[in-house]
Structure 1
Amino acid sequence: MSMLAGATLVASTLLGAGPASAARPPQAPAIPVAGLADPPAEFGTDWHDPLTAAPPVTHPTGKSCEVTVAEAQFRDFTPYKGTYAPPRGCGDRWSKVVLRLDGKVQGRQYDRLGYLHIGGVEVLRTSTPQPSPDGIEWSVEKDVTRYGDTFREGHDVEMLIGNVVDDTYTGIIDVKVTLTFYPAEKPAATKTATKTVAKAAAAPDHVLTLQDGTLTTPRNSERIVAEVYATGSGGGCEEYWYLTVPDAAPYSCKAGDGPYREVQIEVDGKLAGIAAPFPTVWTGGWSNPFLWYVIPGPRAFDIKPVEYDLTPFAGLLNDGRPHRIDVSVVGVPEGQSGWSTPVNVLVWQDAKSTRVTGKLTAHRAGDLTNSSTYTSGSEHRLDTGAGHRLTVAGYVDTSHGRVTTTVDRELAATSVHRWTDGESTDALKGTWTDDEKVTVDGHGPAVTTRTDRTYTMDGATTLGAGDRLRTVLSLGDRASVVETRGGRRTAWSRLDDSYAGDATYTANVPRDQRHAVGTTSERYRLYGSDGCYDRRLVTVQGTLTGVRDSC
C-alpha cells in the first residue's frame, strides 16, 4: 500500500547461516568494470539487475550434486506443487547445502511475497523486485545446511509467490530453485578430521513442524530451537506496522496501541520467548519504488527467521506428549490479519541416551511497557517508547552430565512519527533493539553467547509542487555477537548493513511521464575474530556507478 495513502558460530549467527556454515566471511563477488556506467538524466525503461552488497554464500571445493526443487511461473495465487528427491551420488551427510533462486520478470508488477516449503518445512521466505518494462533478472542464495535432516528423504514441495496479472500488471514471475549438496568429508584419524566431523555434527538432528499447533519432540532432545519467519505484509497497514498510530490520532493506518510489535512464542500457554521483528521495507515501500529498483532494503530478498532457544523447556517437552506452541504478534488489533508466522523447530539429540529429563527452573517475565503520546498541530506527532524483558532457565540431565541453559532477552523500541494533514509529509525515526544472552553451563567452563541487535529507520516522504513525490530514507541492520568461555572471550563479530536512498518522481501520471531520479547506496560490513568483509554499492537513476571493497 502507499504510505501517503495510508568465531564460526559468531560469523554464521550474523549471516543467518546454519550451524555447519563456513567460518570465515566470504570474499566479495567480482563485479566487472564494464558493469559500471554513466547514469542517464532520469530513469528510463530499463535499469541494472537487482543486487545487494551482502556477501555471497561460500561454496566448498570438490564434488557437488544439484537438485532442481521448483520451476514455475507465478501469475496468480495458485501454489506450485511438486516433489523432492535426495541427490544421488553425494551421500546423506553434507558439509554444506546451498539454495539458489533465479528469477526474472518483465513489464509492470508490484513487489510480491513468497515462500518455499519442503516436507512442510519453510526453507525460504522471500520477496521480489519490481521489474523494468524491458525486464530484469535476479538471484538469491541461502545456506540451508541446517535443514539437512529434511533433505535426506523425499518430500512434497510447495512454493508460492502470490501474483496478479491483468491488463495493467503484466509481469509474470518466472523462477527456478535448486539445491546444491557438498558431501561431508569422510573421517580420518587426524585432528583435522575430528574438527570436520564435529562441525558437521553441529547441524540439528531433526527439523520438525507443528502438527495442528502442537509439537512432539524426541524424548532424548538436549537442545531445542524454534525459528519463526515472521512477516507483516499483505498490502494492509501491517506492512507498515512501524507507522501505525492509536485510534485517536488522525492517520490512515490505525492500531489500537500504536506501532509497537513483538513476536512472542508460548509453550502450553507459558511465555517462552520474545523477539523484535525486523522492520523490513519491501521493494514498493515508502511510496517510492525508485528507491529499490537496483538495491533492495536489508533482508528483503532473504527474510531471516527470528529464533528462540527453547532448551530450558526441554524437560517439559521431552515427555513424549504433544505440547501446544503458539506464536502471536503483540500490538496487532484483535481480529486483524496481516502477519504470517510459520514455525520450524530444530532439535539436537543425545545420541547416548534414549531419554533426557530436566526441569524449568526459572521464569521471570517483566511487565511489557508500551506508551504512545500523540500531539496534535499543523504537524501531527506520535512519540512511542516500549520494551519487555524475559528470563528463562532450565536443565537437562544428559549422558554427559547436567547442562543448564539460561536465556535472558530484552527488547526496546523508540520512535517519533510526524505527519501533516492529508499526509503530504510523512516521516519516521525509529530504533529497535533486541539483546539476548544465552549461557550454557555443564561439563567444563560455562559458555555465554551475547547477541545485541539494533534496527534503525530514518526517513520522510513529501508530496510537493507539481505532484513531485520525494522520499529520503536510511535503514540500518546491525548486530554484535560475543562468545565467552569461562569468562574469556573466544570469538566475536560485528555486522553493519546500512542502506541510504533519495528518489523523486511525478506522482499521479502515466509511467512514462514520471521523470524519476534517484540515488541509492548500501554498505555491508562484517568483521571480527574470523576476518573482514566490506562492500559498498552506489546507483544513480538505476545505473550502478560505484563498487568499493575495503577488506
Structure 2
Amino acid sequence: MAESCYVRVLFLLLLVVTPLPISIASPLKLRLSASESLPLNGGQWFQINNNEDVESASLAVPANAYRAVLEVYLSYHGSDEFWYTYGNPFNGNGPFREVTVRIDGDVVGAVWPFPVIYTGGISPFLWRPISGIGSFNLPSYDIELTPFLGWLLDGEEHELGFAVTDAQDFWYVDGNLHLWLDPRSAATTAGIISYDAPPLEKVTAVASRGPGNEYYQTTAFRRISAAGWVQTSSYGKITATWTQRFSFVNTNQVREDTEQTVNQTTDAYSGVHVTDHAGVAYSQEAEQSFPLYIYQGQVNQTSNDSFTEETSVQLRFEEERVAAGRPGFWSRSLSNAQDSAVDVRVQEGDAVGTSWRAAQTYRYEATDGCYYRDVASQGYGVVSDHADEVCAKGSPAAGRAIAGGAATELGGDAAAAAGVARLSS
C-alpha cells in the first residue's frame, strides 16, 4: 500500500500598488463644445468681424481631467475671403492673419491658417473639375492645453476665447475641447511650471516704384511655450510641455496697375512631450509649410478693351509628423500640391474665350503604408490620372484607406485627390 505524502506550500502574496501605464494617447472620455451658445440650439460658430473682437465660451473642466486638447475650426468670408492678397497694410489690414486661443484673456496657442481657396475663389475655372485643397474638407488645428490644467482645475468656469489678428468682416471660429479623465479618482490636482507667450512680431516693408508700381513684404514671427504637471491616481504625476513656433513671409508686387503677384509661405512647428514616473509617455512633433503663389495680369494687350487675362495659382499643404512613446513610434509625411491656370480672352470688353488647366499631386508616406496620386485636367476633362503606392507596405486597398484617413487628419482635400480613390475603389 502506498503511503500518503502531504506537502505544505506557503504562498507569500505581495500587493504593490503601481500606477497604470499612462494612456495619454488613448481614446478621449469627454468632448466639450467651445462655440457660441444660443437659447434654442447652441453650437454655432463664433463670428469675428474685426481685429478687436474676442469671442469666448464659458467652460468648466471636470475635476478629474488629466489631458486637454482643443481642436480649432475656422473659415473666412466677406472682405477677408482673400486676406493673403492685401499687400498694403492700410488696405485690408495687410496679408497676415492668425487665430489666437485664449484662457481668461491669456494667449495659450495660435493657428496660422492654411489658405483654403473656395470653389469660386479668384476664378471659378481654376477649380473645375479639381477642387482647391481643403475647399470641401476644411483642416482643423490642435492646441495642447494639458500644461494649463493648473489654471482650469479649480472648480470654476473659465473663458475659452478666440480672436483673429488684423481680421476684417468676417471669420467663423469654433472648437472642440477634448478631455481625458482619470478613471480611478474624482479629482486630479495640477499646476503650471512655466508659460511664455511673447507678443507677435510683424513688420511690413514698402517700396514704391512709381505710379501703379508697388512692392510690399510682410514678415511675422510667433512662439508660445508652456509646461505643467498633473497628479493622478491612475498614472501618478504627469508632466507635459507644449511648444509652438511660427514664421510667415508674404511679398506682393503690383505692376502698372494691371499685374499682381503674391508669393507667401507660412511655416509652423508644434511639439508636445509628456513624461511620467517611468519616463517618456508620449511625444509628438509636427512641422507644416503652406506655400502659396498667385499671379493675375493682362498680356497680349492690343487696346484698353482687348487683352488676355492670365491667372495662375500654386498651392501646397506640406506636413511632417513624428510620434514616440509607450504607444509606439510612427511617422507621417503628407505633400498635397496644386497648380492651376486660366486664360480669358477679352475683345472690346467682352470675354470671347476661356481655357484652363489644373494638376494635383498627392503623396502620403507613413509607417503604416503609403499612397500616391497624380491627376491633371484640361478644361472640364481629366486628361491623366495615376495612382500608385510609393513603398512596399500595405495593399492597394489599404493604400486607399490610408489616403482617406490622411486627408481627414492631416488636412489634405479628399475631393480632388484621395477622395477620387474612394470613389473609384
Q: TM-score, normalised by structure 1?
A: 0.58
Indicate which of 351, 359, 380 corresponds to 2:183: 351
* Match status 1:391 vs 2:235: no
* Match status 1:444 vs 2:266: no
Deviation per residue, 1:462-503 (Å, 9 max, x gap): 1332242211221010000011339x9821111000000121
Contact 1:226/1:310 (<8 A) preserved: yes
Contact 2:126/2:340 (<8 A) preserved: yes
Indicate which of 169, 184, 202 corresponds to 1:370: 202
Q: 1:279 to 1:315 in 2, by over 3 A?
A: same
What displacement does 1:292 show? 0.4
Aligned to 1:535: 373
Contact 1:397/1:403 (<8 A) preserved: yes
Indicate which of 82, 98, 118 corresponds to 1:282: 118
Indicate which of 341, 347, 361 corresponds to 2:193: 361
Q: 1:507 to 1:317 in 2, by over 3 A?
A: farther
Aligned to 2:9: none
Aligned to 2:130: 295
SS in 2 for 1:496: strand
What displacement does 1:299 show? 0.7
Deviation per residue, 1:262-314 (Å, 9 max, x gap): 1111101111112211111112222x211102111111111022221111111
Aligned to 1:127: none
Deviation per residue, 1:129-180 (Å, 9 max, x gap): xxxxxxxxxxxxxxxxxxxxxxxxxxxxxxxxxxxxxxxxxxxxxxxxxxxx
Deviation per residue, 1:236-267 (Å, 9 max, x gap): 1x11111223455xxxx421xx2221111110
Aligned to 2:363: 525
Root-mean-square deviation (CA, aligned residues, Å) is: 2.4
* Match status 1:435 vs 2:274: no
Aligned residues: 339
Q: 1:203 to 1:537 in 2, by over 3 A?
A: farther
Quote the Cα distance in structure 2 between the aligned partners of 1:200 and 1:411.
Answer: 25
SS in 1 for 2:279: coil
* Match status 1:382 vs 2:221: no
Moved over 4 A (4+): 198-201, 507-511
What displacement does 1:233 show? 1.3
Structure 1 stretches lacking a partner, 5+ long: 1-197
What displacement does 1:204 show? 4.1
Aligned to 1:318: 153
Quote the Cα distance in structure 1 between the aligned partners of 2:75 and 2:252.
Answer: 21
Aligned to 2:316: 476
Contact 1:275/1:411 (<8 A) preserved: no
* Match status 1:231 vs 2:75: yes
What displacement does 1:381 show? 0.7
What displacement does 1:208 show? 3.0
Indicate which of 453, 461, 471 corresponds to 2:288: 453
Aligned to 1:547: 385
Quote the Cα distance in structure 1 between the aligned partners of 2:198 and 2:308.
Answer: 47
Task: Name the one with the larger strand percent.
Answer: 2
Larger-gyration structure (1/2)? 2
Quote the Cα distance in structure 1 between the aligned partners of 2:341 and 2:255.
Answer: 20
Q: 1:517 to 1:246 in 2, by over 3 A?
A: closer
Structure 2 stretches lacking a partner, 5+ long: 1-22, 38-55, 390-425
Quote the Cα distance in structure 1 between the aligned partners of 2:375 and 2:348.
Answer: 30
What displacement does 1:203 show? 3.8
What displacement does 1:199 show? 12
Percent identical among aligned pairs is 24
Aligned to 1:339: 171
* Match status 1:271 vs 2:107: yes
> Structure 2: which amino acid aligns with 1:381?
Y
Q: 1:509 to 1:348 in 2, by over 3 A?
A: farther
Deviation per residue, 1:2-25 (Å, 9 max, x gap): xxxxxxxxxxxxxxxxxxxxxxxx
Q: TM-score, normalised by structure 2?
A: 0.75
